[in-house]
Amino acid sequence: MKRFIKLPQPKTKSNISLEEAINKRHSTRAFSNSPLEIEEISQILWAAYGKNAHGKKTVPSAGATYPFDIYLVVGSVNNLENGVYLYDGANHTLSLIKPGDIRKQLAQASFGQSFVAQAPATVVLVAQFKRTTSFYGKRGERYVYLDAGHIGQNVSLQVETLGLATCMVGAFDDIGVAKILDVQGDVVYIIPVGRP
């Protein structure tokens, strides 16, 4: 069992323009059963919360408080064991925190949305509200959700440039999902990714 994975270097150029990606983006709720590649996972996670050319993250964050922990649920990725991983954006690495295919349980906790079980990989955004509210008080709660939007949009546009598909998922049982993943914090967004 490989618990620690150094992801391949992400690319900063693609064959499709930002405008094309924005123009083509749409929600897809069915995925083929072909697995994803680790290069694709690397690119998606980098877009979500990786390190950019300024040594900061690929997304803005209120007061640079970066309230999110980024998890990846893997059910069908070549050369990556099924399980739940925590992404470390500073080092561009993954750590396996829970082995096994949890996709069916995740779909159940997402009120039975079956495409969640079909997706070869799913990015899950888990907020640590205190990182932001300890600076900003109650208003920090708003900032956490705004940060989630930036991450979600980066992921959805990166997915488009890779010729992959996604549908943002906000409808789920928060506590149920946290239990299934075995994580602390508030689950804010579920982003299943696959081939159209």
Ligand X SMILES: Cc1cc2nc3c(=O)[nH]c(=O)nc-3n(C[C@H](O)[C@H](O)[C@H](O)COP(=O)(O)O)c2cc1C
Residues binding ligand X (CB under 6 A): 26-27, 29, 113, 167-171
**Which residue, 26 or 142, is less far from ligand X as judged by CB?**
26
Tokens standing for residue 98: 């829970």
Dist CA 145 CA 147 (whole Å): 5
**Which residue, 48 or 167, is less far from ligand X as judged by CB?**
167
| Element containing residue 191 per DSSP (H, E) | strand 186-194
Q: Which residue has the tokens 């600076």?
A: 135
**Least distance in Å: CB of 194 to ligand X?**
14
Dist CA 16 CA 63 (whole Å): 32
**Least distance in Å: CB of 133 to ligand X?**
21
Helix 38-49 and helix 139-161: axis angle, to 10°? 150
**Which residue, 168 or 178, is less far from ligand X as judged by CB?**
168
**Least distance in Å: CB of 176 to ligand X?**
14
**Which residue, 7 or 180, is less far from ligand X as judged by CB?**
180
Tokens standing for residue 151: 């991450």
Dist CA 177 CA 54 (whole Å): 34
**Which residue, 41 or 167, is less far from ligand X as judged by CB?**
167
**Least distance in Å: CB of 27 to ligand X?**
4
Dist CA 98 CA 176 (whole Å): 16
Residue nearest to ligand X (CB): 170
**Least distance in Å: CB of 110 to ligand X?**
7
